[in-house]
Amino acid sequence: MSNEGQPQFQRFKAICVPILGNAKLTPSTIPTVSSLLSQLIQALRGLDSATFTTSFISYVFFPLSSILQRNLSAEIPDQVLEKVLVALGLLCENWWWTCEAKIWEQIFMLCGAVVGGLESKGKERARDEETKEAAIRCLLALLHERTPQDALERLFPEDRARERTQELENFSRSQRFIPIIGQTIDSVLGTAVSTRLPLQRSSLDLLSLLLDKYAPQDLVPTVLPGVASVMTKACLGIGSSKSWTNGEIVACSVESAADRHLEDLEDLAQFATTDLTEPTPPLSNAYGTARTPSWLRGTTSQLHIAINALNPLVRHPTPSALYALVDFSSQIIASTSLTLPQTQPLLLSFLLSLSHSEYPKNLAALAHFISSQSDAKVQHVAEMVIAAIGKLLGPGGGIEKWGWSLLSVLEFIEPPVTVTTTSAEQLMLESTQDISWVPFPDLSLKTVSSREAGQALDEMLRALGGAAGDSALYSIEWFTSGVGKVSLTSEVVLNDVTVRRSKRAEKQSRALARTISELWDKSDLEDLAADAPPRPDGHEDLEINVQHQKGLVPLHETLKIIRSNPTKQIRLINQPVLHRGLCLQLIAIAAGILQSRFDSLFIFSLYPILHSIVSPSPFLSSSGLAALNYVTIATSYASPANLLLSNFDYALDAVSRRLTRRWLDIDATKVLVILVRLVGPEVVAKAGDVVEECFDRLDAFHGYGVIVDGLIEVLTEVLNVIEMDVKANPEAAPHREEDTPLPSVRLKDLNSLFEWLPNRNATPQPEADKAGLWTRSSSQVKYPQLQVKSWRLKSFHGRFTSSLTNHQSSARASSAYWLWQSPVLPESALLPSIHSAWPFILNRFSDHETFVVGAVANLIEVLVTDVGSFMYRRIWDDVWPRFQTILTQLEAGDRGNALARRGRSAVGTESAYTHSHRLYRSIIKTMTGVMKGVHPYEPSFWECLVLFRRFLGEQLHDELKTCARQFYTAAGEKNPDAVWLVLKATTENIGGPVSFMHDDRWKIEADAQEVLLHLNKL
């Protein structure tokens, strides 16, 4: 006893001596002993392991043993015995290292007897459960393994733990001890089905320990059946009031129930492991059962039944139980490939159905199991699994369950993942656009939360596919169809199938791609039907696929299963999105399988792909893009643009189909836009068709705002592309046959006339003319090519004009915009249509929407600058009077406008965002264009100059002022004198007949000065 141990020793002495004194229990001493034992237990618990020296343990043990020795077991009340056992357990925790085998055995036997209720022979009364639990704990302390660390803590050599374990195990395997162990196992089995959870739990622990370590090899077979059946009972809670189903009601019991399952399953698993991995060597022993084949058969069938009985566990509410089941199943499958063939499918189905719970670990376990399998016993196990799969998938049955549970797994897991995928995919989308075109983006993250698990699953399916071969095409079919919802897997299947290129696979995938593409039709219809139930995701596709499996007997069952599945109701909104995304992948896969033979399917599949690209969901749009990419590669097109261009007719056909009342799809116009955009400049050649289609639809859907807007968007896109095209090839652009900008033939005075007359041939003008001729002829050379493009454009030009009268104002504005763009047309095509459209254009000036008027004014501006001579009459006869009217109206309107500038010379409004401001701006700009491009018609020219003076006023909005300055400058280039006269006469009274013009209302001096200065420079 060390010095420091001294006070401790004193303390324990104070407890132990009275116990010893009262070792002979009488009714009067029992309370005393009981309280003393409690004190002892408390004291022992407070000690650290180093103080448990051998002498100390012996010292404490002595009173305890004397209690047991001096009393008949029947005389020891449960309460006391329990405390004694607890104390013993605490002691044994440390005594294990040092005690003699004899004592170890004695304690073992004592505890075993207590558990089994054997020590009180003759008495019917068994010990209560608390006592049994204490005994079991004591046994656990005796038996459980110690680590080298524990040895070091107690200042023993490191390998002491192992040595000691060995020693005790050897001891326990002696012939004499085996019955004891058997008896104990039997007893513990009895307590394992107890309703007291701590007891049950510790019994299970002990059982596991006993079977694992101490039970000799030949004993195991003997006890296995009993253990298995008890375990099954325990699992299912047969005969216990607190079965797992109601066990969960008690909050604390949930955890323990789970643990319990965990434990017993482990037992079983270990059992199977230890037992069955070496089933053949027949051993005979006095107590053991020979491991004969017949025994094996019997056992396995029993096990099978037992495992089968575990079926309800699949629906266990606690995750830990499910984990345990998964571990169990995977372990069994992994280790018993030889012995439990008929159980394999069962277990597999456990796993698969388990994997539908939302805990990723399940999947991970499944995946882990599969991957370990393919690693370890590649050939053998693969065959095994294939056989199992075949059995599961065979027409015999089970497919539905299997497939469905797998599918439901993946569905359950999808939603949370989508969120994470989205951003990744978004990135992918961007990167694909930046860095040319990358191959099919890695989509394997879609269903599984952990990458490893996903990959493992991937591997599994790959292994399956590889092993299955042509004969198992059936299951491949299942994989493609069923698992198709799981993108990654299908890609795997793809790999296999492409290698083999079986014709059947080709056919299958062809049909698949087609039916899937048709889904888009269906869903569109359903979307339109307002009262249609929210479309559940993959079921359609499953249905269809099932229909493809010819000769499948339980077809209707399948359908029923799918339809009746209650999970339908809790589908999330994003499920259809996912579904479509996966369908897209299937399409891509089909393309991969068929490769160049996929061509014929473009007619069906292009629309889904494009439709997805324009989807607002990033997930879908990126998968759409990926699919497009993949298909492009698979069908060996150089780029998606090429692909689309080559199949433009199909795409257009599909879109126009979707624009009929029958298959109306609001997004079809968007598809068209994306189509145009993706194809790029090449679309020009096809533009005619697009535009024609658009106008047809505009007619058909007159008044349906959404569609009209969409179509307008398409047309705008087309024109943008055409414009880009024209800009990119300026030489191909139609060359305006400019009328010679004749010098102003106005006679300033006779001198100038005389000067001019002899020189008129010497002016550089003729050269310009020549150049003009030259370019003209060259442009005519270009004409034939151009005309191919433009004759179509011309044909729809007329339709633009007709849409000028569309009742939708945006359409009107857009048509003006289109016309504005149209100078890309050759003059010969443009002018007639402008001519015929002229009344409509003019009428737009009285449109009540400012932006329409503005657009038309823009159009006029472009026209006057491009085809000035053509516009001469039209401007001065038609447009200018209208402008005058508008100006008058605006002036009147401004007077009543709260936004108008106040003040003597105020014109226009403060803000640049008013109608009047915009109109002013349009008008001035148009007239500037007129000044530049059209011969002035003197009276109107003068009117114009006079009228626009006010826009130079200093209080005006800067923008208007700038426009006005430009106008005067442009006018000055035509007729500087008139401009000078107008401006001068306004700013200062220069007398003469123009003195009436003097008007200082607007204070235009500064700007007038600037204009005049500019004119002087010319």
Task: Output the DSSP codes for 81-112.
Answer: HHHHHHHHHHHHHHHTTT--HHHHHHHHHHHH
Q: Minimum distance between the CB of residue 682 and another protein, rounded to whole angstroms?
A: 9
d(CA 343, CA 299): 12
Residue the block writes with tokens 């269903």: 447
Q: Minimum distance between the CB of residue 511 and another protein, rounded to whole angstroms?
A: 6
Q: Minimum distance between the CB of residue 819 and another protein, rounded to whole angstroms?
A: 23
* Amino acid of residue 15: I
* Amino acid of residue 132: K
Q: Across the strands, what pairs with 909? A: 900
Q: Minimum distance between the CB of residue 548 and another protein, rounded to whole angstroms?
A: 10
Q: Minimum distance between the CB of residue 644 and another protein, rounded to whole angstroms?
A: 9
Q: Minimum distance between the CB of residue 534 and another protein, rounded to whole angstroms?
A: 22
d(CA 730, CA 7): 107
Q: What is the largest CA-CA distance in the chain?
A: 155
Nearest residue (CB) to another protein, 792 versus 917: 792
Give the end-to-end CA distance of the chain in Å, rounded to a whole number.
122
Q: Minimum distance between the CB of residue 521 and another protein, rounded to whole angstroms?
A: 11
d(CA 335, CA 857): 85
Q: Minimum distance between the CB of residue 674 and another protein, rounded to whole angstroms?
A: 17
SS (H, E, C) 172-220: HCCCCCHHHHHHHHHHHHHHHCCCCHHHHHHHHHHHHHHHHHHCCCCCH
Task: Output the DSSP codes for 630-676.
Answer: HHHHHTT-S-HHHHHHHTHHHHHHHHHHHTSSTT--TTHHHHHHHHH
Nearest residue (CB) to another protein, 488 versus 829: 829
d(CA 477, CA 511): 11
Q: Minimum distance between the CB of residue 657 and another protein, rounded to whole angstroms?
A: 7
Q: Across the strands, what pairs with 788? A: none
Q: Minimum distance between the CB of residue 554 and another protein, rounded to whole angstroms?
A: 22
Nearest residue (CB) to another protein, 331 versus 480: 480
Nearest residue (CB) to another protein, 561 versus 641: 641
The residue among 873, 875, 837, 831 whose CA lies nearest residue 857 is 875
Sign of the C-alpha dihedral computed for residues 690, 693, 698 and 699 taken in this order: positive
d(CA 385, CA 373): 9
Nearest residue (CB) to another protein, 81 versus 513: 513
The shares of helix, strand and coil residues in the chain, as percent rounded to the nearest 5, are 75, 0, 25
The residue among 655, 647, 695 whose CA lies nearest residue 793 is 695
Q: Minimum distance between the CB of residue 307 and another protein, rounded to whole angstroms?
A: 42
Q: Minimum distance between the CB of residue 596 and another protein, rounded to whole angstroms?
A: 6
Residues in contact with 854: Cβ distance below 8 Å, sequence separation at least 6, in sequence order: 813, 918, 919, 921, 922
Q: Minimum distance between the CB of residue 602 and another protein, rounded to whole angstroms?
A: 8
Nearest residue (CB) to another protein, 492 versus 679: 679
Nearest residue (CB) to another protein, 174 versus 600: 600
* Amino acid of residue 829: A
Q: Minimum distance between the CB of residue 614 and another protein, rounded to whole angstroms?
A: 21
d(CA 370, CA 382): 9
Contact 265, 207 (CB under 8 A): no
Nearest residue (CB) to another protein, 662 versus 902: 662
Nearest residue (CB) to another protein, 34 versus 639: 639
Contact 184, 113 (CB under 8 A): no
Nearest residue (CB) to another protein, 688 versus 772: 688
Q: Give residue 953's region: left, alpha or beta (phi > 0; psi -120 to 50).
A: beta
Residues in contact with 718: Cβ distance below 8 Å, sequence separation at least 6, in sequence order: 676, 683, 687, 690, 691
* Amino acid of residue 149: Q
* Amino acid of residue 650: Y
Nearest residue (CB) to another protein, 59 versus 663: 663
d(CA 361, CA 574): 24
d(CA 302, CA 366): 25
Nearest residue (CB) to another protein, 510 versus 736: 510
Tokens of 416: 């949370």
The CA radius of gyration of the chain, in Å to the nearest whole number, is: 47
Q: Minimum distance between the CB of residue 891 and another protein, rounded to whole angstroms?
A: 46
Nearest residue (CB) to another protein, 72 versus 788: 788
Q: Minimum distance between the CB of residue 669 and another protein, rounded to whole angstroms?
A: 16
Q: Which residues bind another protein (CB under 8 A)?
A: 503, 506-507, 510-511, 514, 596-597, 599-600, 602-603, 635-637, 645-650, 652-653, 656-657, 660-664, 685-686, 689, 696, 699, 792
Q: Minimum distance between the CB of residue 601 and another protein, rounded to whole angstroms?
A: 10
Nearest residue (CB) to another protein, 434 versus 531: 531
d(CA 373, CA 353): 19
The residue among 371, 368, 477, 446 whose CA lies nearest residue 623 is 446
Residues in contact with 312: Cβ distance below 8 Å, sequence separation at least 6, in sequence order: 236
Residues in contact with 360: Cβ distance below 8 Å, sequence separation at least 6, in sequence order: 413, 448, 449, 450, 453
Q: Minimum distance between the CB of residue 514 and another protein, rounded to whole angstroms?
A: 8
Nearest residue (CB) to another protein, 601 versus 837: 601
Quickly list H helices, 529-617: 539-548, 555-564, 574-594, 602-613
**Within 10 A of 429 (CB to CB), how many other CB atoms are there?**
20
Nearest residue (CB) to another protein, 600 versus 720: 600
Nearest residue (CB) to another protein, 109 versus 685: 685
Nearest residue (CB) to another protein, 155 versus 529: 529
Tokens of 13: 């002495």
